[in-house]
Amino acid sequence: MPNLIRDIPETSGYWGAVWTVCNLPDIHVIADAPVGCYSLLASAVSNYTDAIPNLENITPSFIREAEVMGSGTWPAVENVYKGLHETGKLEGKQLIVVSTAESEMIGSDLSEFMGRLGYNAKFFHSESLTHDEWTGRDRALIWLWENYGGNSATTALEPGLVNIIGPTYGCFNAPADLHEIRRLVEGAGGRINVVFPYEATVADIARLPKAQVNVVMYKEFGHTLANALERPWLYAPMGLRATTDFIRQLAQMLGTTDQAERFIKREKATTLKPIWDMWKGPQGDWYSTTTVGIVATGTYVDGLRAFLGDEMGMPVTLTAARPLRPGDMDNIALRKAIHAGAPSFLFGSINEKIYLSEAGNKMTNFIPAAFPGPIVRRALGTPFMGYAGTVYVVQEIVNRLFETLFNVLPLDTAYGRPAGGPPVAAKPSLPWQPAAKAQLDAALSKLHFLTRISVSQELQMAAETYAHTQHLSEVTPEVVEAVLAGRQGERR
Partner 1 sequence: MTAIELPEIELTGPVTAAKPCALHPQAMCPAFGALRVLARIDGAHPVMATDIGCNYGLTFVTHFYGSRKSLLTHQLGTSELMQGDVVEGTRAAIEMAAQEPGCELIPVISLCVAETAGLPEEMLPTRVGNAEVVLVRVPAYAIYSHPETKDVALSTVLARLGEQDGPRADKTVVILGEVFPADPLAIDHLLRRMGVEQTIVLPGRNVGDLRRAGRVGAVAPLHPFYNRTITLFRSWRIPVVGGAPVGISGTYAWIKSLGEMLHLDPVLVNQIAEAERAAAQAVADHQPIEGTVLVTGYEGTELAYARLLIEAGADVPYVSTSIGQDPLVLPDELWLRRHGVRDIIYRKTLEHDVAALDAFKPDFVLGTTPFCNIAKDRGIPALYFTNQLAARPFFLSGGMAATAGFVRNAIAGGARAQWMLDFFAE
Site for partner 1, rule CB under 8 A: 1-8, 10-15, 34-45, 47-48, 53-54, 56, 59-60, 62-65, 67-68, 80, 83-84, 86-87, 89, 100-102, 105-106, 128-130, 132-133, 331-332, 335, 350-351, 354-355, 357-358, 372-374
Would you say 108 or 365 has its CB closer to partner 1? 108
CA–CA dist 292, 449 (Å, integer): 14
Residue 313 · residue 286 · CB < 8 Å: no
Instruction: Return the number of the residue (48 or 279) whose C-beta is nearest partner 1.
Output: 48
CB of 106 to partner 1, least distance (A): 6
How far is the CA of 77 from the CAs of 33, 168, 431, in angstroms?
A: 10, 26, 78
The answer to whether the CB of 14 falls within 8 A of the CB of 99 is yes
221/287 with CB nearer partner 1: 221
Complex with partner 1: residue 77 or 318, whichever CB lies closer: 77
Q: How far is the CB of 102 from partner 1 (least distance, A)?
A: 5
| Closest distance of CB 165 from partner 1, Å | 24
The identity of residue 194, as a single letter, is V
Indicate the length of the chain as a whole number.
Answer: 492
Cβ proximity to partner 1: between 145 and 355 the closer is: 355
CA-to-CA distance for 214 and 223, rounded, in angstroms? 10
Query: Residue 130 has what DSSP assignment?
Result: T
Query: Could you tell me where the DSSP H helices lie in 376-476?
Result: 386-408, 434-445, 449-469
Minimum distance, C-beta of residue 32 to partner 1, in the bound complex (Å): 12
Q: How far apart are CA 136 and CA 186, in angstroms?
A: 30
Q: Which is nearer to partner 1, 62 or 466 (CB)?
A: 62
Q: Residue 155 CB, nearest distance to partner 1 (Å)? A: 36
Residues 6+ apart with CB under 8 A from 28: 57, 58, 59, 84, 89, 90, 93, 94, 95, 96, 119
Half-sphere exposure at residue 322, Cβ-oriented, CA atoms within 13 angstroms: 24
The residue among 206 and 354 lying less far from partner 1, judged by its C-beta, is 354
Our CB check for partner 1 shows the closer of 85 and 437 to be 85
Closest CA to 486 of 464, 467, 459, 454: 459
Angle, in degrees to the nearest 10, between helices 133-148 and 13-21:
40
- CB neighbours of 18 closer than 8 A, spacing ≥ 6? 29, 31, 41, 55, 58, 98, 126
Selection from 185, 206, 319 nearest residue 250 by Cα: 185
- Comparing CB distances to partner 1, the nearer of 30 and 215 is 30
Q: What is the dihedral of CA 90, 119, 61, 104, to 10 degrees?
A: -150
Minimum gap (Å) between residue 358 Cβ and partner 1? 7
* CA dist., res. 140 & res. 250, Å (int): 26
CB nearer to partner 1: give 210 or 362.
362
CB of 72 to partner 1, least distance (A): 13
Minimum CB distance to partner 1, residue 373 (Å) = 7
CB nearer to partner 1: pick between 140 and 394: 140
Taking Cα atoms as reference points, which of 357, 350, 356, 346 lies closest to residue 318? 346
Distance in Å, CB of 38 to partner 1, minimum: 7
**Half-sphere exposure at residue 380, Cβ-oriented, CA atoms within 13 angstroms:** 6
CB of 462 to partner 1, least distance (A): 25
CA gap 219, 134 in Å, rounded: 10
Q: 26 forms bridges with which residues in the sheet?
A: none
Strand partners of residue 29? 58, 96
**Residue number, 85 or 248, with CB nearest to partner 1:** 85
Task: Please report how close the Cβ of residue 156 comes to partner 1 at its closest, in angstroms.
Answer: 39
- At its nearest, how many Å lie between partner 1 and the CB of residue 42? 8
The candidate with the shortest Cα–Cα distance to 28, out of 82, 92, 104, is: 92
